[in-house]
Structure 1
Amino acid sequence: MRVTVRSGERGDDGGAAGRRVGRRPGLLKAAGLTLAGVLVLGAGTAGWAYWHLNDNIKSVDINSALGEDRPPVAVPSPSSSAAPLAGSALNILVLGSDSRSGKENAKLGGGDSGGARSDTAMVVHVDEGRTEATVVSIPRDTLVTRPSCPLSTGGSTEVAYGTMFNSAYSVGGPVCAVKTVESLTGIRMDHYIEIDFSGFAKLVDALGGVTVTTDEDIDDEDSHLKLEAGTHHLDGEKALALARTRHGIGDGSDLGRIGLQQKLVKALLDQISSTSLLTSPTKLYRVADAVTGSLTTDTGLDSLSELISLGQSLKNLTSADLRTVTMPVVQAPSNPNRVVADEPEASELWESLT
């Protein structure tokens, strides 16, 4: 069974499962510009707010952990006419973590499982001028060769063949997730951004919820979500349940969940666009607190100033400048419930981003 997903047209975020993955670069831009607003307001009202938000951000020193055994860093082409705040092309691994650690995450995730996996994985590629972007979703059910990864406690993991893609985060955290993506794609990840269960729910609540239209009834015992087909205004907990739903819709595969996540990301962007954050310092602070409190980044993005700089460099991106795709996959010969990269199409996709 072939489940290959081809490139989408720019700006088209139609709802078919697996065809599009949403406007994640727009979310990065919105986060950066929201934090920029906090910086301006905080400087004139309460400087402590800036320092609190700055201290919220958690980070991992991925560059030191991985060393030089990585794909090369992208450099600007000699003919590049990159705009100010731009420069070389940029590749960002964006993960949604299904961590159950902590009371809030355990409640939202259905109990403390003592571990975590990458529930959502997207590679965001931004061009040199920061005027065009491609977002590639990697299905979590993809079987891959997981490379040996260094552990924070010392030593390293064993190479694993034909293992689930999202197991990399489970066994080696962000460092192993990045190394596995770089091994799979041949592309160096310049930055890493992760958001967890409770942080996502808090962000949705801080924005006043999101409005989503579903095409069919949803009844998923695992995510505890029941929705009739139609339009719904969801709070943070229900929005998170929608993002996690897979068994209650379509064929129960991860590609079906990607379709729901696409709807949710678009709804979140619409809510951000319709909310006058800069005219409400209180709401602006709540949103910024939710954003920074839910993030784990690499050390190159672990401060407000660095996140703001990223957001400002993406300010000229619009939905018409985005190409959103899912890595081409086919059913795994060894397991009908798993997929593998569809070659040579998958490699050609990654090569197009270098």
Structure 2
Amino acid sequence: MGRGWGGSTGKGGEGRQVMQSSVQEAAPVAEGGGAGTVDGGEGRGGRRRERPGRGRRFMKWSATVLAVLIVGTAGAGYLYYRHLNGNIKHDDLNLGDSKVAKPTPNAAGQTPLNILLIGSDARDTEENQKLGGAKETFGTPPRADVQMLLHLSADRSNMSVVSMPRDTLVQIPKCTDPDDDEAYPASNGRVATNQSLRNGGPGCTVATWQELTGIHIDHFIMVDFAGVVSMADAIGGVPVCVDANIESRDSQGHGSGLKLEEGTHPVKGEQALQWLRTRYGFEDGSDLARAKAQHMYMTSMVREMRENATLSSPLKLRRLAEEATDALTVDPGLDDVKKLFDLSNELRKVNPKRITMTTMPNRYVGVQVEPTEDAEKLFRLVRDDIALDGKDKKKAKAEEKLSDDPAAPDTEIGVQVQNGTSTDTLGPAGGRAGTVAGLLVDKGFTLAAADGSVVLSEDRTVVRYPSAELEGDAQRVAKSLGIPLSSVKRSTEVTGVTLVVGADWREGTAYKAPKQDDKLPDADKALNGADEDACMHVNPAFTF
């Protein structure tokens, strides 16, 4: 039976072809060693998905997709049966209009890899509907109820995983399905990020992430309810810990149904899915607690896959390969088992001690959340390939990359200047937009003008521009005032080059960029991949 939220699962290739490979011990790998190259192309091909329909939101798995990526630690041979390629479903990488440039290679010619892991709440098969419940939502469009960005550093020394709560308020961009030219308009204001999957598929979820974060995404991997169960069974169970007895069910019947006694227990199959969906019973019952439980599951799975030598068993490995390929929907850059194996070779270079998992900094807006200023700081760390564990070797200062599109003459560049000096504790500094607009006019930007209609709150001074053809103009404005190019941002919220004077420039006529802080926000809430003592706190109202 096909899994994922779309398409048939016809088998690709005639017969089977086995590429010889020695079975490797499932143990940590020394640094260095060969690795395949994974291309982040956005091409098309293969099966088309059927368009499903709407569903009630259930948090879903994304953690177990990592098992596919690191399956190379157990051995490669059985991954190369050609018929496995036919199991893998694929879809477009990015359905948005705007693209984010790939990172500049480091001195060794290496670039980071960014992979979006998506957990779909699809109920498009009887198996998915049985596992997800909600009979009235069978065959309705899924939502991207789990979203995690996996960032593999350019030098392959460390890995970061950033979760975004499913109800994060974001602007979903216009998404166009090239197969039928169906266009999904941009959201009218901010909506929950998990709705992005409805707008043509995972390619719209990728586009939404890129618009919000400015991070180039190379690949996506998506799994559904049935994929969680089959993968967990094939692996043989993942150890998880609770600090008290837990039963995730309230008097109204809400909850995942997870029931565990205090301590550490291996979970697999439907119980693994329950763990990854549990909100009622973990800590404060929020999406944030659920993301923490998912991080614990993922790190435990990584250790299990690296350390459990039983996975070198040909039968177990074959079953894992079968279930893994059948559970996935990927972009065309990962649409065969060799590409997945090449990617696993890249990921297995990272020692669990250098894996950091965190959740996007956020604040509540009613019952939903929105990114905070610290979220942009976290996104910058990922964009700049800075390790979240703070253990990067000292790097040479990166050269600021100029736009390929040259700037217009200063006298032809229109600039709107806004006052963003307001903070949580201080009111806006008076007249800042007019003062800085005057500075620009004195420097030859005769079309610069103050916009007194809005007062904003920006920690740092920023120059925004709406489209690629204005990037050079925005950079020229920044350079004239001594603003670093890292503070020049593309944004759909502006219609032209817009300079927002931030709280870091409340007075004076000379801008001095503040010292850059590269520490992870909310570092005390992050989880290290080698932490075997992590244990979920159980809400006393859900114990027995």
Query: Normalised by the shorter chain, which TM-score bucket?
Result: 0.7 to 0.9
Deviation at 1:213, TM superposition (A): 1.5
The answer (yes or no) to whether the contact 1:24–1:124 under 8 Å persists in 2 is: no
* C-alpha distance in structure 2 between counterparts of 1:109 and 1:127, whole Å: 35
Give structure 2 stretches of 5+ with no counterpart: 1-60, 384-544
* C-alpha distance in structure 2 between counterparts of 1:145 and 1:205, whole Å: 38
Query: In proportion to residue count, which structure has more helix?
Result: 1
* C-alpha distance in structure 2 between counterparts of 1:170 and 1:214, whole Å: 35
The answer (yes or no) to whether the contact 1:24–1:135 under 8 Å persists in 2 is: no
* Aligned partner of 1:209 among 211, 214, 237: 237
* C-alpha distance in structure 1 between counterparts of 2:200 and 2:312, whole Å: 42
The answer (yes or no) to whether the contact 1:29–1:314 under 8 Å persists in 2 is: yes
What does 1:236-255 align with in structure 2 at a 5 Å threshold? Answer: 236-255=269-288
* Aligned partner of 2:210 among 171, 179, 182: 182
Partner in structure 2 of residue 156 of structure 1:
183
**Structure 2 letter corresponding to 1:52:** H
Partner in structure 2 of residue 102 of structure 1:
125
Deviation at 1:275, TM superposition (A): 3.3
Sort the Cα spacing of 1:232 and 1:248 in 2 relative to 1 into closer, same or farther, 3 A.
Answer: same
The answer (yes or no) to whether the contact 2:62–2:222 under 8 Å persists in 1 is: no
Partner in structure 1 of residue 150 of structure 2:
124
1:339 is paired with a residue of what secondary structure? Answer: strand
Q: 1:72-128, CA deviations, whole angstroms, 9 ceiling, x for partnerless residues?
A: 122313x22x6xxxx311111111111111011111111452121112111111121
Aligned-pair Cα RMSD in Å: 2.4
Which structure 1 residue ranges, 4+ long, deviate > 6 Å from structure 2?
21-26
Q: 1:195-237, CA deviations, whole angstroms, 9 ceiling, x for partnerless residues?
A: 1111111111112222322123232333222333333332310
Quick check: 318-327 or 236-245, which moved more? 318-327
**Structure 1 letter corresponding to 2:116:** L
Sort the Cα spacing of 1:57 and 1:24 in 2 relative to 1 into closer, same or farther, 3 A.
Answer: closer
Report the number of matched residues: 313
Mapped pair 1:341 → 2:381: no
- After TM superposition, the score normalised by the length of structure 1 is 0.81
* C-alpha distance in structure 2 between counterparts of 1:315 and 1:249, whole Å: 31
Max Rg structure: 2
* C-alpha distance in structure 2 between counterparts of 1:278 and 1:260, whole Å: 24
The answer (yes or no) to whether the contact 1:22–1:324 under 8 Å persists in 2 is: no
The answer (yes or no) to whether the contact 1:23–1:324 under 8 Å persists in 2 is: no
The answer (yes or no) to whether the contact 1:206–1:287 under 8 Å persists in 2 is: yes
Mapped pair 1:200 → 2:228: yes
Deviation at 1:61, TM superposition (A): 2.6
Partner in structure 1 of residue 102 of structure 2:
73
Partner in structure 1 of residue 170 of structure 2:
144
Mapped pair 1:284 → 2:317: yes
* C-alpha distance in structure 1 between counterparts of 2:243 and 2:350, whole Å: 29
**Structure 2 letter corresponding to 1:257:** R
Sort the Cα spacing of 1:173 and 1:100 in 2 relative to 1 into closer, same or farther, 3 A.
Answer: same
Mapped pair 1:89 → 2:116: no
Deviation at 1:29, TM superposition (A): 4.3
Deviation at 1:23, TM superposition (A): 8.4
* C-alpha distance in structure 1 between counterparts of 2:234 and 2:337, whole Å: 19
Sort the Cα spacing of 1:23 and 1:168 in 2 relative to 1 into closer, same or farther, 3 A.
Answer: closer
The answer (yes or no) to whether the contact 2:74–2:312 under 8 Å persists in 1 is: no
Mapped pair 1:299 → 2:327: no
2:119 is paired with a residue of what secondary structure? Answer: strand
Deviation at 1:170, TM superposition (A): 2.7
Sort the Cα spacing of 1:23 and 1:183 in 2 relative to 1 into closer, same or farther, 3 A.
Answer: same
* C-alpha distance in structure 1 between counterparts of 2:257 and 2:291, whole Å: 18
**Structure 1 letter corresponding to 2:371:** A
* C-alpha distance in structure 1 between counterparts of 2:128 and 2:298, whole Å: 20
The answer (yes or no) to whether the contact 2:65–2:117 under 8 Å persists in 1 is: no
Partner in structure 2 of residue 264 of structure 1:
297
Q: 1:267-288, CA deviations, whole angstroms, 9 ceiling, x for partnerless residues?
A: 3234323433564211110011
Quick check: 215-224 or 186-195, which moved more? 215-224
Partner in structure 2 of residue 59 of structure 1:
90
Partner in structure 2 of residue 18 of structure 1:
none
* C-alpha distance in structure 2 between counterparts of 1:324 and 1:193, whole Å: 18
- After TM superposition, the score normalised by the length of structure 2 is 0.54
